[in-house]
Structure 1
């Protein structure tokens, strides 16, 4: 339930009416659990009063956007959680909102432990071996 396999790119919740009550389906409950317990909040969309929220999966760095596409329903309707690209996130939320959460210079939203150092230079094997052995390259 609290996992987002790579083949999943969209979770669409649904509501049903039972005995005069609105019942959220399993996917609605799963989206709620994921956004509260697993995904890290990155930013709220600047133009819709906080209804659209951007999250990052700390396990693999993917970006997820929670929206309420049936806005005509009370409370915005059931949630939709969909994976979005870094380019989509930058366009919708702005680069400043993403800094510190994702590598905005990459096409892939990297998890913090996977971020590459901008100061390290690629080294060929022979130079690396000499440096490791304590000799200057």
Structure 2
């Protein structure tokens, strides 16, 4: 900036060297234009990165939704299997009980099994005398 302002008279009014001043203004405008262009490029890059981030985020949300659906289905299957397993165990216990009763009846009819009255299972003895409940369907 030195040399741009001449103060040859001690009046306090400065005269400006017009070509040097124009040159300085042109440099400032050029520098501002370069900085503007640089900022514009940075904004473009940031927008691209933001778009990529949005795409990745969208994909993650889609995968999360799919995973949540799969998790829900898996939970339902586990609950169904647990219920089915409990039903199966109950049917198995009932069938085993019926088979034991029938086996003892057959042994008694064949004369193979003769239990002394005190050694017999009272629940089984009562069940042998009663008609057994129907066998649950498979």
Larger Rg: 2
Higher RCO (C-alpha under 8 Å, 6+ residues apart): 1
| Structure that is richer in helix per residue | 2
| Structure that is richer in strand per residue | 1
> What TM-score results when the alignment is normalised by the length of structure 2?
0.23
> What TM-score results when the alignment is normalised by the length of structure 1?
0.23
